[in-house]
Amino acid sequence: MHRLQSYLAGQWQTGQGDGTPLIDPSSGATLALAGALGLSRAAALEHARRVGGPALRAMTLRQRGAALKALSAAIHAQREPLIDLGVANAGNTRGDAKFDIDGATGTLAAYAALAAELPERGFLSDGPGQALGRSPRFWGQHVWVPRHGVAVHVNAFNFPAWGLCEKMACALLAGVPVLEKPGTPTALMAERIAHIIVDSGALPPGAFSFLCGEAGDLLDHLGPQDTVAFTGSSATAHVFRAHAAFARRGARLNVEADSLNAVVAGPDVASGSATFDLLVRDTAREVTQKAGQKCTATRRVCVPAALLPELAEALSAEIGNVKVGDPREDGVRMGPLTNPAQLQSVQEGIRRLAGAARVVRGGPEALRPRGCFVAATLLAAADAAAPVFHAEEVFGPVATLLPFDGSPATAARLVALGEGGLVASVYSDDKDFSIATALELAPWSGRLYLASERMAEHGTGAGTVLPQMVHGGPGRAGGGEELGGLRGLSLYMQRTAIQGFKSVVEGAFGAPAPASATAG
Ligand code: NAP
């Protein structure tokens, strides 16, 4: 049986013991084993700090950006075999796998493009400098410098490519070596990407490490200059938060966790209108893409009570057009869940929701005797505020329609019952409703997607995370923040205030004048 490898301390290594079987969720066949028993996490971290950190810090921001560009191209060149791995090991349709892989290479390329505009040095100035006393001689300037630790990236199983590359792009551009730990169930694609990265030679020695399998004692070896960016469930996030690495030793932790992402339909949206059709199309996609195993997938749809019957009918029909099955079969647009544990958890979740709602389409039954197939499921609540709709994320193709009175305040109250989310959407052509709802929702949401007829053909849908905009959310969503252009680098850098004689401080640490201003 093929055993996946880890790349630690500059060497490909294989763990001892049996390892975890990685399966094809369409057939149940075992594809490979992943395990990292007996591999030294401490030595890997030390190598990254001692070798990778100094090498990256010796590069300018633009040079690091050029490395990201080379990585993007190297991964893109292997797109077809990577898609095959997503189909086999994650139950992805080809479209789902492309979404993951193109998200990965697109984010690397976006950060490479951003870096091309940055100064030829290794740190960033933070805003303009300023006089600190009555004399302009005493000057202050904030700077961002790379931390001297390792960026440890612990990822969820659902985006083996994108999750790894979006975190890596920010850390490497900041000048910090990475140790990537993918979610084990879908590690086949992540391990292939790790080989591509190492083989590309784009990064200096020590800048990239890859731990394939269980985390083991990884966190025990982290210190005050290290950063962990974690993506996964709230339950695992609790374990991380309580760990001494963060609670006592001062390592930095960023958490991206669960989210019951909500859609709000405005009272102006009429059945058959362009905005209604957009709402139906977008919601069906955000429920079924990647079989709903997307952190940004739509879970709750707040709809004015009068519109609920028509929206239920239209959404049910749209979702019914999505053929479910083995992604290798013709016409299939939704594959299986990733493994039997996920299937069981989603079935239990649907049963819980169905205890308080009418099942409009789908249900908890497994669709096939073999494999991890469940129907895309739409429910309609009578009591929109019932806790079951807001308390627990069902990580599959499942959404509930929640009737409300059409006011921004009620919509916000319902959305807030989810205790903080990654993204919420508003569908309305009434500008005043959209703005009022956005302001109510903003404290509970990392991102807001305001959809209307006028941008229907131009938007990506709420489920697509863009490198220019921040990703993360308050409360249940973890309280973390990633991406957002240069904002994403700050997790891996120290902001330091530098005070002193103006010509020294401004000359060495101030933002260099743009090329056009110095050109003549
Ligand atoms: P998970 O079970 O929490 O695992 C996430 C990662 O943590 C995996 O790499 C896992 O490794 C590792 N892990 C688990 N227990 C650990 C421990 N005690 N110490 C160190 N590492 C540990 O989540 P998942 O099932 O992979 O992913 C699904 C969840 O992720 C969903 O709740 C989803 O909403 C969330 N998610 C959030 C975002 C976001 O951006 N907010 C994005 C994607 C997914 P193993 O796989 O080896 O166990």
Ligand 1, residue 187: give the atom nearest the CA. 46
Number of helices and strands in the chain (H, E): 17, 21
Q: Catalytic: 295?
A: yes
E strand intervals along 461-511: 470-471, 482-483, 493-501
Condensed to tens digits (0 to 9), the pLDDT of residues 216-239 reads: 999 999 999 999 999 999 999 999
**How many whole angstroms from 211 Cα to the centroid of ligand 1?**
14
Q: Is the C-beta atom of 395 inside 6 A of ligand 1?
A: yes
**How many whole angstroms from 309 Cα to the centroid of ligand 1?**
37
- Identify the residue whose C-alpha is closest to ligand 1 atom 11: 183
Condensed to tens digits (0 to 9), the pLDDT of residues 50-80 reads: 999 999 999 999 999 999 999 999 999 999 9
Confidence (pLDDT) at 514 = 61
Beta partners for residue 324, in sequence order: 334
State pTM to two decimals: 0.96
Q: Give CA–CA dist 47/177, Å, rounded.
A: 10
Query: What does the DSSP assignment read for 68-136?
Result: HHHHHHHHHTTHHHHHHHHHHHH---HHHHHHHHHHHHHHHHHHHHHHTTS-SSSSEEEEEEEE-SSST
Q: Give CA–CA dist 205/519, Å, rounded.
A: 37
Domains parsed from the chain with CATH numbers: 41-257+480-509 (3.40.605.10), 261-469 (3.40.309.10)
Label residue 517 by pLDDT band (50, 70, 90). very low
Comparing CA positions, the residue from 360, 351, 374 lying closest to residue 301 is 360
Confidence (pLDDT) at 366 = 83
Tokens of 330: 């013709």
**How many whole angstroms from 184 Cα to the centroid of ligand 1?**
9
Label residue 1 by pLDDT band (50, 70, 90). confident
Q: Is the C-beta atom of 422 inside 6 A of ligand 1?
A: yes
* CA atoms within 13 A of residue 154's CA, in its CB half-sphere: 22
- Identify the residue whose C-alpha is closest to ligand 1 atom 26: 156
Q: Catalytic: 165?
A: no
Confidence (pLDDT) at 281 = 97
**How many whole angstroms from 301 Cα to the centroid of ligand 1?**
25
Candidate list 295, 318, 392, 506, residue with the active-site label: 295
Q: Is the C-beta atom of 392 inside 6 A of ligand 1?
A: no
3-state SS assignment for residue 301: strand
